[in-house]
């Protein structure tokens, strides 16, 4: 039986997200061979970061702490904008 609670759904989202992240290097390698699709190659790292945020958020919700992922993202933005703090690789381009 499928767990339809918020925690159960978040756990399944996390599992699917992890599977997609494992396949992403293979997919990004294939994109280079598809005519016209090579314009998407520079966006693959951004997609990877986005999937990482989704995975962290899903795990936080599954663990009963839904605000943790938003706090982590906000802290990364704050650190990026604050002199002397480490810059975010995602926001640095």
pLDDT digits (tens, 9 = 90+) for 45-69: 778 777 877 888 888 888 887 777 6
Rounded Cα gap, residues 39 and 5, in angstroms: 39
Q: What is the pTM of this model?
A: 0.60
Tell me the domain boundaries of the chain.
6-92
Instruction: Give tens-digit pLDDT for 4-51.
Output: 787 888 888 888 888 888 888 888 788 878 888 878 777 777 787 778
Phi-psi bin for 64: left (phi > 0), alpha (psi -120 to 50), beta?
Answer: left
**Coarse DSSP helix, strand, coil percentages of the chain, rounded to the nearest 5 percent:** 75, 0, 25
């Amino acid at each position: 039986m499928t767990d339809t609670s918020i925690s159960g759904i978040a756990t399944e989202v996390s599992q699917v997200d992890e599977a997609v992240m494992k396949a992403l290097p293979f997919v990004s390698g294939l994109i280079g061979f598809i005519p016209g699709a090579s314009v998407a190659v520079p966006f693959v790292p951004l997609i990877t970061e986005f999937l990482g945020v989704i995975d962290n958020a899903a795990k936080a919700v599954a663990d009963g702490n839904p605000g943790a992922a938003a706090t982590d993202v906000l802290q990364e933005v704050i650190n990026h904008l604050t002199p002397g703090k480490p810059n975010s690789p995602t926001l640095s381009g």
